[in-house]
């Protein structure tokens, strides 16, 4: 069963292909309507008072503009399709690469460990880190007081009793705490901001209708959530292009 890497982060993807198809259909309908109106007007005009030439020229000009609009829309659709194909081909090069992405769920291989990144509001004095399995049960937890700035957390794949856990998807939960151990809230009563990222090696690539997904085990990582990539073949690192959200930049 494929598991999303995003448990607490929601992403909205627009279906550009559907929007483009709808736009093209609307232009075609306008084009047909224009032809019907123009021919009907010409057939039913008063023979003793025909349409003035300048008006006829204006309507022909409008006719040409609608036709150009339809052709321009088709060219844009072709360009978008070509860009999508190129993006899909380039995604295949990520197989075997080490990636960092926004998300809190990672895939544990038997006998391996998991690495996460997290960042919390600087005013938080302490926090608790929890590792939860796919059923939401907490199998490991620890507390930290030195949490300023971006932090890296590596879990050895064992519970608090030292028992090695089964292969599967595991989620990092970061719980900001006040000095007295209660859940942290600022002066306005608002919770602390938390950003979480995962680090792992890409096993395969899934190409969907609206996005490309990189697979770490059975965890599916949306291509749009990547913040850093270290390609396996060359060892070259590539950072996020700046198109990601503020939350992505915090987790990078």
Kindly report the CATH number assigned to the domain that includes residue 237: 2.60.40.4070
Average pLDDT over residues 56-77: 72
| pLDDT recorded at residue 41 | 73
CB 200 within 8 A of CB 170: no
Q: Are residues 42 and 141 in the same domain?
A: no
Residue that finishes a domain, picked among 60, 93, 126 = 93
Last residue of a domain, one of 62, 93, 124: 93
Q: What is the pLDDT of residue 100?
A: 95
Q: Name 4's bridge partners.
A: 220
Domain count, the chain: 2
As a whole number, mean pLDDT of residues 209-221 equals 87
Q: Please indicate, yes or no, whether the overall pTM of this predicted structure exceeds 0.85.
A: no
β-bridge mates for residue 179, sequence order? none
With contact defined as beta carbons under 8 Å apart, do 172 and 153 qualify?
A: yes
Structure tokens at 62: 């409008």
Asked whether residue 6 is domain-assigned, the answer is: no
Question: 86 is in which domain, residue-wise?
Answer: 16-93
Question: For residue range 134-184, what is the model confidence (pLDDT) as tens digits?
Answer: 999 999 999 998 887 899 999 999 999 999 999 999 999 999 999 888 999
Q: Of 5-9, 75-79, 96-100, 245-249, where does the model show the most confidence?
A: 96-100
DSSP assigned state of 110 = T
- 84 three-state secondary structure: helix
Whether 103 and 213 map to the same domain: the answer is yes
Q: Find the helix packing angle between 53-91 and 16-43, rounded to 10°.
A: 160
Indicate whether 85 and 136 sit together in one domain: no
What are 107-129's pLDDT values in tens digits?
999 999 999 999 998 899 999 99
Confidence class for position 71, pLDDT limits 50, 70, 90: confident
Let me know if residue 65 belongs to a domain.
yes
Report whether 90 contacts 82 (CB < 8 A).
no
86 shares a domain with 101: no
Yes or no: say if 221 and 7 are a contact pair by the CB < 8 Å rule: no
The residue ranking higher by pLDDT, 201 or 26, is 201
pLDDT in tens, 10-62: 333 334 344 445 555 665 666 677 677 777 777 777 777 766 656 666 766 77
Return mean pLDDT, the chain: 79
């Amino acid at each position: 069963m494929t598991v999303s890497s995003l448990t607490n982060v929601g992403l909205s993807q627009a279906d550009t292909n559907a929007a483009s198809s709808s736009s093209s259909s609307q232009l075609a309908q306008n084009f047909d309507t224009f032809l019907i109106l123009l021919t009907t007007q010409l057939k039913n005009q008063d023979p003793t008072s025909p349409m003035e030439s300048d008006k006829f020229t204006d309507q022909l000009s409008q006719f040409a503009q609608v036709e150009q609009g339809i052709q321009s829309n088709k060219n844009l659709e072709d360009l978008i399709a070509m860009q999508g194909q190129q993006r899909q081909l380039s995604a295949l090069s990520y197989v075997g690469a080490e990636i960092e992405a926004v998300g809190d769920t990672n895939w544990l291989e038997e006998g391996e460990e998991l690495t996460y990144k997290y960042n919390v509001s600087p005013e938080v004095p302490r926090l608790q880190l929890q590792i939860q399995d796919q059923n939401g049960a907490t199998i490991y937890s620890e507390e930290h007081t030195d949490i300023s700035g971006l932090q890296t957390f590596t879990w050895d794949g064992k519970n608090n009793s030292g028992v090695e856990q089964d292969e599967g998807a595991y989620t990092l939960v970061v719980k900001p705490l006040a000095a007295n151990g209660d859940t942290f809230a600022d002066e306005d009563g608002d919770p602390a901001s938390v950003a979480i990222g995962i680090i792992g090696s890409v096993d395969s690539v899934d190409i969907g209708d609206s996005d490309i997904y990189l697979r770490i085990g059975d965890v599916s990582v949306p291509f749009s959530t990547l913040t850093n990539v270290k390609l396996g073949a060359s060892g070259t690192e590539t950072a996020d292009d700046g198109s990601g959200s503020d939350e992505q930049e915090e987790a990078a």
